[in-house]
């Protein structure tokens, strides 16, 4: 599935929303969607493909 996004908005938070009392009565889903930060393996750019990855950049899970 794919779709074009012409506009977007996001609010970053560390806890559940604190909606007004009148908003809590609306039949609209409210909550958080956890999106963890995970380090992945490095990907070389075109100018670095033949250069060995420095040891300090190696990914160790």
Segment 18-61, tens digit of pLDDT: 777 888 788 877 777 788 888 888 889 999 989 999 988 887 75
pLDDT at 61: 59
Check if the beta carbon of residue 42 is closer than 8 Å to that of residue 59: yes
Q: Give residue 52's pLDDT.
A: 92
The pLDDT of residue 22 is 85
Tell me what the mean pLDDT of segment 7-23 comes to: 78
Q: Is 34 exposed, middle or buried (0-12, 13-18, 19+ CB in 10 A)?
A: exposed
pTM above 0.95, yes or no: no
């Amino acid at each position: 599935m794919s779709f074009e996004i012409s506009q977007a908005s996001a609010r970053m938070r560390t806890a559940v929303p604190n909606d007004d009392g009148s908003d809590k009565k609306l039949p609209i889903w409210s909550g958080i969607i956890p999106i963890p930060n995970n380090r992945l393996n490095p990907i070389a750019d075109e100018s670095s493909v033949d250069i060995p990855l420095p040891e300090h950049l190696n990914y160790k899970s």
